[in-house]
Amino acid sequence: MVNSRTFTGLNDWQRGGSKKNDYLYNGKEMQDELDLGWMDYGARMYDASIGRFMVQDVMADAFFDYSPYSYTANNPLLFVDPTGNYFVIWYEDEDGNQKSFRFDGSNGADAPDNDYVVSFLATYHYNVNNGGGDALAEIACDTEIGIGVANTDGESQYNNGVIHWNSTLGLKTENNEVLSPATVLEHEGFHGLRDKKYHDEYYKDDMTKDATWGDLDEKKAIMGNESKTARANGETKRKQTRTSHSGSELVITQGSTSNKVNNNGTYEFS
């Protein structure tokens, strides 16, 4: 029987020996420490003998129907998970099944005909084409950054590798200016980008509390990417869009790229 962890080359065959092959399933390296037999996927260690990762998936919040220890949504024939972390837009199809679409900034034509996915892509291009959306563009185009996007009926927020984005929820500031869901998306994208690319700095700022801004990371998001995108989208002319993190009112807008308030929707939301 051939040993799957060895391979024989000409020189090895002439010497009657073979070389050890540690790169097996999906080309991942087998780890021999403590005889666990785990495979190094970068973000997580994988046990091929039981088909499970040994720590929770960092994207687990985006797909509640599956075990956080599962591999490729329990369908390795259809999907692969080359790093243990990836960038996807999660949505529900017409039958209520959870699906995903991977977006790299240029493959929007391949997107499914789903309202949430279409809304996200339109919003992404709206921000970027207007001269804003810097964080979103970097996330989409950097293959080393993996962030999910998932629908929410509540307030938009970034949490543990996932942007939970409400495509109809904007903000009315203390200055009576309304920021669109598009600008809010860039705000949350800023948090995600810093978490993935500058994690230590992000974590430190996130833990640095501030009476006005909530924390230092929120201050940087508001005064930086949010402010630039809001101006690019024509939602404000001021250099700073908000004077605090807590003084804004959640409002339903007339669309993901609109800063016009839907009064009936806002009343029902509140």
> Where are the domains positioned within the chain?
19-82, 87-269
* pLDDT per position as a tens digit, 228-252: 999 999 999 877 788 888 888 999 9
Size of the chain, expressed as the number of residues it contains = 270
Give CA torsion, residues 26, 27, 29, 35, to 10 deg.
Answer: 50
- Dist CA 84 CA 166 (whole Å): 26
pLDDT tens digits for range 50-103: 777 777 765 565 555 667 777 666 666 555 555 544 457 889 888 888 888 888
Tell me the Cα Rg of the chain.
23
Helix (H) or strand (E) holding 209: strand 209-210
pTM attached to this predicted model = 0.70
* Structural element, H or E, at residue 188: helix 181-197
Share of the chain above pLDDT 70, in %: 79
